[in-house]
Amino acid sequence: MASEDRMIVCLACNAVNRVPEGRALTAAKCGRCAGLLATPHPAEITNDQMRALEKKDTGAFIVDLWAPWCGPCRMMAPHYDAAAERLQGDVRFYKINTDQHPDAAVRLNIRGVPTLVAWKGGRELTRQSGAPAGGALERWVRGLFGLAPAPN
């Protein structure tokens, strides 16, 4: 495997796909099921899917651990959706409902929601607790992954 390749897990079939660094995820499809590898909208995932991502995926992704009763989670959701749409070529956006998947929150040592966890290269980069709003969320993601600033 060339060092410029990212290994991207397809959530539809669990296949691991090699995607060259620099190739937009929006142009990449799963080699097994032909599903899209980009997330134009945040994808709800389970604890098992999160384990697969942690174990096999070396691409850039953000996981939002949230709960339906959480006001800040609901306030951040539209900003998270907008960032997913704008950055889908470079970063994937996932959500784990901690009420439905408390085992994921325990395993990841999440103490409060919302918590955003950033991953790249098969390892956790950082976490952010609380709900960044508006452009702050997108700026945080762009800065973490070395993406160009948003055009004005």
Which listed residue (10, 13, 30, 73) is catalytic? 73
Catalytic residue flag (residue 10): no
pTM of the model: 0.94
CA distance 6 to 18: 6
The two tokens of residue 67 are 């709960």
What digits encode the pLDDT tens for the residues 106-121?
A: 999 999 999 999 999 9
From the CB of residue 90, how many other CB atoms can be counted at a distance below 10 Å? Answer: 19
Which listed residue (10, 13, 33, 70) is catalytic? 70
Of the chain, the end-to-end C-alpha distance in Å amounts to 37
The two tokens of residue 55 are 């174990």
Catalytic residue flag (residue 70): yes
CATH homologous superfamily of 39-144 equals Glutaredoxin (3.40.30.10)
120: alpha, beta or left, given left = phi > 0 and alpha = psi -120 to 50? beta
**Mean pLDDT across 13-33:** 95
pLDDT of residue 3: 57
What digits encode the pLDDT tens for the residues 74-88?
A: 999 999 999 999 999
